Amino acid sequence: MKSTINIHVELDEEKMPETIEWNAPDGGVDGKQKAKAFLLGLWDGEEKSALRIDLWTRKMMVDEMNDFYYQTLFGMADTYVRATRNAELANELKEFAKSFLKKATDALKAEEENK
């Protein structure tokens, strides 16, 4: 059995992502879904290395990027505990995610106050 996930990226004249759309027909997501950013991580078992594609549109605001990273880190902790059953390290990652969001939010507020 095979499953397909489609990601379509339209670039602007500067070759920056203008729109990101995706669907996963086999997963019940038939219509095109819009996204402002995506992170794709793949593991190359032969090379023992991670491969990444990280894209975002100009419409992605800094506060959204902060939330996106927080939610991604938090979700990775859930995945990690399911894969390894190491709840202690997963909880450390969740605590880091919370600390990251607070620091990122505080930095953004300070930047806005200095404008």
Q: Write the DSSP string, 30-87.
A: EEEEEESEEEEEEEETTTTEEEEEEEE-TT--HHHHHHHHHHHHHHHHHHHHHHH--H
Q: What percent of the chain has pLDDT over 70?
A: 100
Residue 28 — very low, low, confident or very high, per pLDDT cuts 50/70/90?
confident
User: What is the model's pLDDT at position 68?
Assistant: 98
Is the pLDDT at 96 greater than 90, yes or no? yes
User: What is the model's pLDDT at position 115?
Assistant: 81
Rounded CA gap, 108 and 92, in Å?
Answer: 24
Label residues 20-36 b or e (16+ Cβ within 10 Å = b). beebeeeeeeeeeeebb
